[in-house]
Every structure is written in C-alpha cells, then in structure tokens.
Chain A
Amino acid sequence: MGGLPAGRVERDEHEYAQWEKRVDALMMLLSDEDRQLLKVDELRRNIESLGADAYDRMGYYERWMHAIVQTLIQRGVLSIDELGRKLEELEGRGG
C-alpha cells in the first residue's frame, strides 16, 4: 500500500491485552526452528487475502489470529471440526 493516500498518523498507544500477546507468542512458537508448523509468508498471504473491508474492520492481532488459524487448517495441523468443538466448549465455560 505504499504511496496510496491516507489520513493522519494517529500516535496514541495502548498496552496490549494478554490474548494479543499470546497471539504474538503463538506465531513465534509455531514458526520457530523446532516446530516449523507455519511460515510467516503463509500468514502474510492469508492476511492479504482478507480483502480491504475485512482488513480495515479487524484489529492487528485479529488479522494475525485469523491468519494463524487459516494456515494451520491449510497445513492439516487442525481440523475445522475440532476448532468448532473447542470454541463451543469454551463458550460453554463462559470463556
């Protein structure tokens, strides 16, 4: 997106939430030498595939979490069904 028109740079900053830090950690662990369960390039491709609307609507770590899930599905590390069941279980626990 270099060179496209855009507004002012907003410089407010905030402390990241725990879940956001854990998304970052997830990315580091899964891409490390020992595990190599995803490459950052796959994450970037999945983020780029979001399309402009979703991209702008989503927060930074939401986009990365989306990309991690998509990549792990594409790699066959996780199945859609087990993700669905785990999410259901967490909602049941009030998570």
Chain B
Amino acid sequence: MKQTSFLGRLRRSQAFWPLVAWVLILVFDAIVEPGFFRLGIIEDPVYGKHLYGNLVDIFNNGAPLMLVALGMTLVIATGGVDLSVGAVIAISAAMGAVLINPALGNQLITNEILTRNATNTPLPLIILATLAAGTVCGLWNGWLVSRAGIQPMVATLILMVAGRGIAQLITNGQIMTIYYTPYFWFGNGYILGLPVSIFIVAGVLLLAWLLVRKTAIGLFIESVGINAKSTYYSGINEKNVKLLAYTFCGFCGAIAGLILSSYVHSADGNNNGLNYELDAILAVVMGGTLMTGGRFSLLASVIGAVVIWTFTVTVYSLGVPANALLAAKAILVLLVILLYSDYTRRLMNRVFERRGSQHDAAH
C-alpha cells in the first residue's frame, strides 16, 4: 500500500517523465553498448585519483547545461524565455579569460608570457567579476522584460545577438587561451574522486531550491507565470519577480561560463556556450515546465539536462560523427514532443489506471 502511494506520488511528480526518458536511454545503452556503464579509477598527475567513465563524463560535461537549465526554469516559469544564456556564457568566459591574461591591453603576447602560468588578477576577483558579468546581463534582460515591458523573446534576443559581440570586444576579437592552472580546477578538478562541477551543480541546485521553496518566491513565480494580472491584483510586485528570475538566469549562465572556459582552457566569443539556450529550453520542457509558465520543478529540469547529455554521450559512443549530432538530437526532440503530447499522456494514464491505482485523472 505504501509502495503504491509512493509510485503514485512519483508518477505525478514533474520529475517522472524525464526520469522515464533517462531510464529508456540507459536501458538502450545497456543493451547496445554493454561497456557504457564501466567505471574505473585513474591516477591523474595534477588532480590525483579520480573516477572516470561515461557516467562521470555525462555529469561533468553536462554541468554547464544543468546550471543554465536551472536559471531557465525560473524564467520560463514566469512565462518568459531567455535566449541570451549562450551569449551570457561567452561574456562571462571572456571576462574570466581577460582578467587572467597576463598581458593586458594590446601588449604582444609572447610564448614566454603564456607559459608563465600566471594571472593578472587574484583568483577570487576573477570569479567575482565573472559572476558579476553574467548577473548584470541577467539584470539587463530582466529590466527590459519587467520595466520596459518588452516581449521576453525579443528582449533577450537583443543580448543573444549583441552578447557574442560584447564577448569579442572584451577579448579584443581574439580567442583567448588560458594558461593559469588554478583556474582549470572548476572544469577539470576533482573532489573525493568526483568532478568539481558536480558539486557546483549540487550547490546551486540546493541554493535555488532553498530560495524558491523555503521562501515564497517559488509561489510568486508560479503565480506570475499562471496569471500575472491576478498576481498583481493580489499585491505581489510581479515586475520584481520577473527581474529576479532573469537575474538568477544570468547568474547561472555566468557559472556555466566559468566552468566551460575552465574546461576548454580558453574563451571564444563565437563558440562558448553556442546553442546552450536551446538545449536549456529543451531540458526545461522535458522537466515538465510549460512554456506558458506556471508550475516548475528545478530537479526535473536538471534531470532533463542529464537526459540530453546522456543522449549525446550515447550517440558519440555509438560512433556517430560529431557533425551528425544535431540530426540525432532532432530525433530526441521529436521523441520528447511525442512522449509529452496529450495523446501519449492519456494513453499512459489509462495504462496506469488499469494497474489498479485509483488516483484521479486530474493530470
């Protein structure tokens, strides 16, 4: 009896469908590619002993997307969308790189300088500035949407286009390579044998969860997303709620930018975080948050991001060439949309009901 009610609760939770999708992919992997789940311990000259394997890669490489999906969840829950997160990633990455760069200005960068493993700015300052850059971007988006009253898609499109230009301005049009080892820790380091990025995601998830579920912010965000006018009439400052969501999204983009640039040891205004906004939207939609706003689940969105990366790693390990990845992803999108359609849901609900659990069909 207790188990039925747990299953019932699980089925009604927003995390259910992305979990189903994830399990399906893992089952596929188990059948087609038995070695997929192999884990091992490796000794790294810099970071010591740590775990490696496909599963670790999924979480390590997927961390930036998970972070961006967290921020995107709140934005979408207010009934908006943030198309600029990819560009925000690039801006933050550029900010980090330019502060590290030991040769400021137009000084010629020589091999000697680059191999010095030095930085121009103390690491805490770099981190702060990187996070601040993304947060300011989020504030800008939030201001456009909530105060200037511009449609979210249009408002964030501005930064989506301009942001990559700004990133290039910051790095003076160069792809900047970073030669500062402590900075690499975020994207490549390990804590207790697990990637640092996993801990960062867990930390931000916990922080965000506390913010939205232990204060009234979550309720306000959902309320705004469902009916902004009623929310305003109830005495809630719906503009500030939106502002907060976009700002948080920018903040998440900044952390993602930090991890990504650290991982690839460089900042590239054109390619850092390319198409991340679209993957993040997909992750949020997979997490069961409606594009029209309203009810959301942070955890479900993170699982959505995990699904996307599990899929990506699966496709790679099947030997599909990288340039065919987008085509393969299209199949994933198609499957997700079909799986989430009313038709499939009705079908699934009927199957579940026949199993004997007599929960109402309110879903």
Whether A and B are associated in the same complex: the answer reads no
